[in-house]
């Protein structure tokens, strides 16, 4: 017999349940697909056009398919060095005149280099499109790589390395992780290059690197903004189309052999606290497994709400910081997790805790709530990441240069939203194997020989 006193409460609860049941399913609004046009000029330059008349500006991103993975052993840091040299003048442009010109017309410009590519870009009022095309064509055809400029910029890069890497607390951590995790592939070294290689670089080496990679048949121009495609295409042909094609670009990058046994490494660095690292070799960007790996990395190691941070820093208080990354780029790379050991705790215990959190995913997967939250975060980032003309050009350029398939610029949103709980646990079990992992401890102390600088 039902109590009369409970009847009103049950009525309310049933009403709430009915409302929840009647609530519409969670939906994520898909961003509009790009309406682009793509062509390849006779000199091999790929060009992507995307009209966007929302603002009277135009963005040009010139991607060179060259990064630190194209550097030879003992000759590291060249791709990043050219990020500096490319602003130091060409046949018709004085040193530093290129960025000054862009600033004077109300625009902005810069460059960025990573393991796989180097991007030079300008955003300007749309009627200055001919100027930026001429500037890029002039330095593509006639960059001035003089001995004087080479030596000057080399010193600038060496100082940048001291400031950003060597003199920062834990600044050498990525360099140490990748140096220990890779044996063969050039991902073993960082984009900034080693100090030893920078000091040994010669002008002949640098000129050879430039002549090999900074050619139209190794470049992709992405134009997004307020223009008519037919007119823009004529301008691109007029300026960039006249740059002579270069020699075929070599792609003889050595592959990393399979890792079949666990590596345990202890190194020393003059850091205030120990650090522990767990690293696994994973697949490449664009592989079907890359999408659940992205999701897994966000759940495990991205930010203060991630599993690693909540467990090691907030709940158990054995680490001062805990973070990680699934580094999914052009060639197979690493998933790694790091914990900075809290004072009073043993590194081996914290390493065990770090490993334990990763093993939990292999054994039990992630929850539906975690997966849904990660998908919402990806949807937010994906949509906000296409707000500006520069961001739209980044999506398109990445699809062409890194994926070699421009269609992926639109397809990845759906691929992320289609990831399942089973996908996440499957990739954890596939890649997080004991035989292929690196377990590393970095202890405070004088650095031992062998760490690349």
- Output the CA angle 193-287-190, nearest 5 degrees: 5
Of the candidates 146, 430, 129, the one whose C-alpha atom is nearest the C-alpha of residue 287 is: 430
Q: Decide: 335 and 282 in contact? Cβ < 8 Å.
A: yes
- CA separation for the pair 12, 16 (Å, rounded): 6
Q: What are phi and psi of 214, to 5 degrees?
A: -95, 60
- CA separation for the pair 195, 200 (Å, rounded): 9
Angle between helix axes 347-364 and 421-431 (nearest 10 degrees) is 130
Of the candidates 402, 401, 382, the one whose C-alpha atom is nearest the C-alpha of residue 392 is: 382
- CA separation for the pair 349, 353 (Å, rounded): 6
Q: Which residues contact 2 (CB under 8 A, 6 or more apart)?
A: 10
Number of other CB atoms surrounding residue 434 within 10 Å: 11
Residues with catalytic function: 83
């Amino acid at each position: 017999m039902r109590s009369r006193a409970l009847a009103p409460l049950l009525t309310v609860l049933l009403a709430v349940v009915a409302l929840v049941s009647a609530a519409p399913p969670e939906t994520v609004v898909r961003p509009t697909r790009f309406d682009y046009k793509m062509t390849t000029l006779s000199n091999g330059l790929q060009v992507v056009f995307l009209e966007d008349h929302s603002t009277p500006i135009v963005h040009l991103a010139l991607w060179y398919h060259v990064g630190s993975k194209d550097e030879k052993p003992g000759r590291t840091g060249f791709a990043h060095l050219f990020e500096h040299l490319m602003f130091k003048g060409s046949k018709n442009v004085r040193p530093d005149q290129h960025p000054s010109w862009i600033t004077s017309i109300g625009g902005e410009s810069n460059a960025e280099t990573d393991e796989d590519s180097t991007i030079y870009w300008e955003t300007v009022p749309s009627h200055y499109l001919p100027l930026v095309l001429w500037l890029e064509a002039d330095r593509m055809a006639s960059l001035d790589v003089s001995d004087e400029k080479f030596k000057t910029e080399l010193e600038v890069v060496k100082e940048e390395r001291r400031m950003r890497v060597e003199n920062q607390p834990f600044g050498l951590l990525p360099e140490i992780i990748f140096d220990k995790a890779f044996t063969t592939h050039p991902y073993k070294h960082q984009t900034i290059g080693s100090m030893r290689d920078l000091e040994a670089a010669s002008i002949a080496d640098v000129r050879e690197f430039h002549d090999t990679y900074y050619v139209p048949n190794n470049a992709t121009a992405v134009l997004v903004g307020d223009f008519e495609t037919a007119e823009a295409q004529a301008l691109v042909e007029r300026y960039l189309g006249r740059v002579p094609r270069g020699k075929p670009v070599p792609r003889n990058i050595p592959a990393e052999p399979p890792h079949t046994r666990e590596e345990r490494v202890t190194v020393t660095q003059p850091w205030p606290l120990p650090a522990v690292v767990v690293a696994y070799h994973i697949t490449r960007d664009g592989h079907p497994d890359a999408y659940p790996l992205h999701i897994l990395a966000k759940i495990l190691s991205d930010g203060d709400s991630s599993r690693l941070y909540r467990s090691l820093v907030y709940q158990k208080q054995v680490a001062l910081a805990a973070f990680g990354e699934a580094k999914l780029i052009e060639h197979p790379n690493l998933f790694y997790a790091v914990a900075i050991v809290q004072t009073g705790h043993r590194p081996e215990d914290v390493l065990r805790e770090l490993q334990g959190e990763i093993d939990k995913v292999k054994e039990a997967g992630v929850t539906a709530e975690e997966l849904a939250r990660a998908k919402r975060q990806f949807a937010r980032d994906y949509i906000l990441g296409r707000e500006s003309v520069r961001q739209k050009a980044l999506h398109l350029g990445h699809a062409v240069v890194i994926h070699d398939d421009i269609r992926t610029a639109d397809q990845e949103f759906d691929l992320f939203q289609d990831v399942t709980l089973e996908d996440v646990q499957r990739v954890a079990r596939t890649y997080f194997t004991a035989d292929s992992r690196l377990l590393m401890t970095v202890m405070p102390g004088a650095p031992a020989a062998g760490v690349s600088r």
